[in-house]
A and B are shown apart, each in its own frame.
Chain A
Amino acid sequence: MRRPADAPPPRITRRGLMLLGLQFGVIGTLGWRMRDLQILQNEKYRLLAEENRINIRLLPPARGTILDRDGRLLAGNRQNYRIVMVREQAGDPAAVLARLATIIDLPQEARDRVLREMMARSAFVPVVVAEHLSWDDVVRVAANSPVLPGVEPEVGLSRFYPDGPSTAHVVGYVGPVSERDLEKLEDPDPVLQIPRFQIGKTGVEQRLEPLLRGHAGNQRIEVSAAGRVMRELGRTEGQSGRDVNLTIDAELQIYAMQRMERQSAAAVVIDVRNGDIMALASAPGFDPSSFVFGIRSGEWNALLNDEYRPLSNKTVAGTYPPGSTFKMCVALAALETGAAGPGDTVFCGGSTTLGRRRFHCWKHGGHGTVDMRRSLSQSCDVYYYEMARRVGPDAISAMAHKLGLGIAHDLPMPAVAEGNMPDAEWKKIHRSEKWTTGDSFNYGIGQGFTLASPLQLAVYTARIAGGRSIQPRLLRAVGGAPVEIPAAEPLAIAPRHLEIVRGGMFAVSNEGTAYRSRFVDPENLMAGKTGTSQVRNITAAERAAGVTRNEQLPWNRRDHALFVAFAPFDNPRYAIAQIVEHGGGGSAAAAPIARDILGFALYGGPAPLSAYPPEQRGAIEEERAARPPQSEPDASAAAPARDRA
């Protein structure tokens, strides 16, 4: 087996060189492959490497604040202390959460949610454990940090509403972006993808969202394979939202809300000269903060099931038959068409008949001979049955639209109602029936198909008072720059006709149905019109049973009480539309409230006793003494910031 010792050992030269050649072949292949990867495909892989490492993170902009006309804060941002937890630093997250629950309020269900969320995300992603904490909570958590690994306090911005329920309907509220919100938007701003980013859900917050939101900044960050942030590569600062001034006078608004306490009511105060809406009060209010913090289902159901409908903004979205407050419109239509002059009279015997139907005047005994001024001051129904019959629905509808009724005004509010000021055509389309004289009779007294919102009634009153076709507006300034509006055109109505109607309204307040709700200050005399709108017909059975009085009916079947007015009479400044749902008669339920609110606007505070009729001053003084003084909004709730940190 052994090779012979004398023979020279065979060399491996040939096979060695063959093997070397084979190896060169392999090495050549490796080199060629590296050239392909590193030289030829370099661009592609360089790009992939950049995509690997760079993430763009959005920086949410600070939301613009909402201020009243004098710069008082209606919606602002305040520091929101929250606690976040990082799973990988926590060790045993469940145990840490249990320990945390002994320090701050953290119910079991919240702990379960946090655990689920942490498990669903990467280990290093901070998960919000609790929000809207007090400074004391934050201090306690910080002090216990050694036993709370992975738990850290954070400061963010959250929305707050200093005047709470008083301005809730106007200002609205914000909430986290929902899937439904995203579907509705055509070009969703990427900032909406930020978890927990808040957008306006209703009110001005919703409608002025594009102004208030601002633009997101972004941060280019380098991330590791696991997604951990390594460093910031660059940053583009975003742009904060714009601050907006509303035309609302917060103090007037708050006063109006207080004045309508425990009522289902609405009041709109408007500047006759330029259409500025000074107050847009819908009672009862609700606390917008409960929506920002996430409303509990019990509270939500309570709001939904309340028959006073606190979530509804009755000022712009609620529509009611205007009742007798509509009579100025019919009177103007009669004057403008020449159907009646101011001196023409109608005899009121308490009712009038049309075919076999009898149409009653509110006053059973009748008003006797009635001219236009008296028809307004006494609110004679028979007079307006006759006027409506003479003028017809089309002229009334045209006049109503001229005066701002039956139009959805352009306000930054959701669900601004159009109301309804029908003409003959409307009935043919919507009811498939011919317009009847009976329909005209109902039209004449603002009943039947007629619907108007308090906002529309306020515009209507302001247009009659000022003679100009003012447009209501809510946005006074954006970013400190006033929003310019063109001067309102004079109404296409003969000034002397307006003069006649205004005279009738003066008579209402100073000698007629609203006499008890007048001011005696010669500087601020009022001119108004009461209204009582039926929400049902008194049935024959009820009449038989003797139920004809409103107070005997269940609340939700009682009449709505309305009142519109402007003042001062000789130099109109403010107009108001007031409704008290199911409040009964306009003169008793709506006019006194409207007078106080209008007085507050005129005098810049509660009207002095001297403005009231002497015989009422005693009672008003007593009532004011009983009522606690208007409290300032609770500013201490806003946690103080850095100086204590």
Chain B
Amino acid sequence: MSAFDSARGATPRGVAKLLALNWALILLLAAVAATGFLMLYSVAGGALQPWARPQMIRFGIGIAAMIGIAMIHIRFWRAIAPLAYLGTFALLILVEIMGEIGMGAQRWIDLGFFQLQPSELMKIALVMALAAYYDRLDPARVSRPLWVILPLLLILAPTALVLKQPDLGTALLLLMGGGAVMFLAGVSLWYFAAALAGGAGLVTTVLKSQGTDWQLLEDYQFRRIFTFLDPSADPLGAGYHITQAKIAMGSGGLAGRGYMQGTQSRLNFLPEKHTDFIFTTLAEEFGYLGTMTLLALYTLIIIFCIVSAISNRDRFGALLTAGIAVTFFLFFSVNMGMVMGLMPVVGVPLPLVSYGGSAMLVLLAAFGLVQSAHVHRPKARD
């Protein structure tokens, strides 16, 4: 804790702490969220209900929570990281059991004001736990097999649970987000090479399992994969969504068809247009300029986070910030890749834009952690 102790005097206090927040990042987040409000207003046919207004309220709560979290010292978050991980893991098991005993395939716990999805929470808890782990681990041991197995277990245990739900998108995000933290922590590249080769083998095995007794994915997940590989094979069935999404985006052109003028979304040719496919409406109504603007905002957020992480001398704060940035990156790139037909449809929302409480609140809480790491970063000694 030496780095921290020495920097304590420089850490801002009180109102100064608020000013020390990374306001540019908050501004970027607000810009992205505002894009979401615009789009939700549009897909509701020019109405605040049923999506835009609840989303705004949640964003307000989320920003407040973010600032609240940012005000708490990063030490605290590091201290509770293992606890957060274990608690979230317990919740994951709880929803799994609830599903088993007949409350339906429910993935959330109803907290009254919103429905908490433990799998959403896990995306952050996992990054926290891994950051804390590598913060405590002697860097010399990072690549030793024994010390690689533990973080691998931390990643694979929740991934397996989520996959069983089944939620392919979240499983993918957990796997890749966790892997990114390991990569940042300096785990030998050979492990990643081996993982890639193993992954390729696994994909082959999974595809081969179709139709056998030990089938590893649900039928609908197989269908989505095959539809992704050849959407035109089933233009009115599962490929319909992809085809219509492409038509919507492609018809947008450079400047789009105009706000609330998107025929594909207004006439219901698009699926899930307020959640996972909201990007297609944006693309249709604001065109290439619109999609590139959103992509630029996202990229700026990533850059801000990574720069903040690189410049942070606190290892926990740096790993946490970079890990969250990667998770955020995975969110939007998987979502966009999915609607553009570059990836199978796995069900990942567009972060801060898609309608949905859990994802929005969890993401803003995560940015709270990023802010906390930023505000409480140790100052340079020299």
Contact = CB atoms under 8 A, between A and B. Distances in A.
A4 B337 CA distance: 43
A29 B299 CA distance: 13
Contacts of B337: 30
A46 B342 contact: no
A6 B2 contact: yes
A19 B303 CA distance: 11
A2 B186 CA distance: 16
Nearest to A44: B250
A38 B263 contact: no
Secondary structure of the A contact surface, majority rule: helix
Interface string A21-59: 001101101110111011101101110111011000000
Nearest to A16: B310
A12 B3 contact: no
B184 A38 contact: no
B248 to A, nearest CB: 7
A53 B295 contact: no
B306 A16 contact: yes
A12 B309 CA distance: 8
A16 to B, nearest CB: 5
Interface in B303-331: 303, 306, 309-310, 313-315, 318-319, 322, 326, 329
A186 to B, nearest CB: 34
B137 A3 contact: yes
Nearest to A13: B310
A39 B251 CA distance: 9
Interface stretch (A61-69, A175-183, A221-229, A571-579): A221-229
Contact of B250 (A27, A41, A225): A41
B176 to A, nearest CB: 11
Contacts of B184: 12, 15-16, 19
B2 A34 contact: no
B139 A42 contact: no
B268 interface: yes
Nearest to A27: B299
A590 B115 CA distance: 96
A33 B326 CA distance: 21
B249 A34 contact: yes
A9 B378 CA distance: 12
A39 B254 contact: yes
B53 interface: no
Contacts of B269: 52-53, 224-225
Contact of A46 (B253, B299, B306, B315): B253
B250 A30 contact: no
B13 interface: no
Contact of A12 (B186, B246, B248): B186
A27 B295 contact: yes
A645 interface: no
Contact of A35 (B141, B185, B244, B288): B288
Chain A, interface size category, equals: 35 or more
Given A34-B249, A38-B283, A42-B250, A9 B314 contact: yes
B310 A1 contact: no
A101 interface: no
B350 interface: no
B32 to A, nearest CB: 15
A41 B314 CA distance: 48
Contacts of B326: 19, 23
A12 B287 contact: no
Main secondary structure of the interface of B (DSSP, over half): helix
Nearest to A34: B291
B292 interface: yes
B110 interface: no
A224 to B, nearest CB: 4
A32 to B, nearest CB: 10
A45 to B, nearest CB: 3
Interface in A222-261: 222-226, 230
Interface in B273-309: 283, 287-288, 291-292, 295, 298-299, 302-303, 306, 309
A458 to B, nearest CB: 63
Given A2-B136, A224-B267, A225-B268, A38 B342 contact: no
Contacts of A120: none
B277 to A, nearest CB: 13
Contacts of A614: none
Contact of B249 (A10, A18, A38): A38
A20 interface: yes
In this complex, which of A44, A49, A50, A225 has the most chain B Cβ atoms within 10 angstroms of its Cβ?
A49
B203 interface: no
Contacts of B52: none
Contact of B295 (A17, A18, A31): A31
B304 to A, nearest CB: 11
B267 A225 contact: yes
B342 A12 contact: no
Contacts of B264: 49, 52-53
B288 A29 contact: no
Contact of B138 (A2, A24, A27): A2
A26 B334 CA distance: 10
A624 interface: no
Interface in A441-464: none
A15 B264 CA distance: 42
A11 interface: yes
B183 A15 contact: yes
A71 to B, nearest CB: 50
A37 B342 CA distance: 12
B3 A8 contact: yes
Contacts of B252: 38, 42
Which of the listed residues B3, B251, B299, B337 has the most CB atoms from chain A within 10 Å of its own CB? B251
Nearest to A51: B247
B372 to A, nearest CB: 17
B263 A53 contact: yes
Contacts of A540: none
Given A9-B3, A34-B291, A45 B250 contact: yes
A261 to B, nearest CB: 62
B336 A30 contact: yes
B246 A19 contact: no
Contacts of A545: none
Given A34-B291, A37-B249, A11 B138 contact: no
B131 to A, nearest CB: 10
Contacts of A18: 183
A37 B339 CA distance: 12
B309 A45 contact: no
Interface in A546-604: none
Interface string B337-362: 10010100000000000000000000
A37 B263 contact: no
B16 interface: no
B1 interface: yes
Of listed B267, B319, B322, B329, residue having the most chain A CB within 10 A = B267
B11 interface: no
Contacts of A42: 250-254
Given A2-B136, A20-B303, A10 B186 contact: yes
19 contacts: A1-B138, A2-B137, A3-B138, A6-B2, A10-B139, A10-B315, A11-B313, A15-B186, A23-B329, A30-B336, A31-B292, A37-B250, A38-B283, A39-B253, A44-B250, A45-B249, A52-B267, A224-B267, A225-B269
Given A1-B147, A31-B292, 15 more contacts: A1-B141, A6-B2, A8-B313, A10-B315, A11-B318, A15-B183, A27-B299, A27-B333, A30-B333, A33-B342, A38-B291, A45-B247, A45-B248, A48-B251, A225-B267
The 5 closest A-B pairs by CB, nearest first: A45-B250, A49-B251, A9-B315, A42-B253, A38-B288
Interface of B: 1-3, 135-141, 147, 180, 183-186, 244, 246-254, 263-264, 267-269, 283, 287-288, 291-292, 295, 298-299, 302-303, 306, 309-310, 313-315, 318-319, 322, 326, 329, 333, 336-337, 340, 342
Interface of A: 1-6, 8-13, 15-20, 23-24, 26-27, 29-31, 33-35, 37-39, 41-42, 44-46, 48-50, 52-53, 222-226, 230
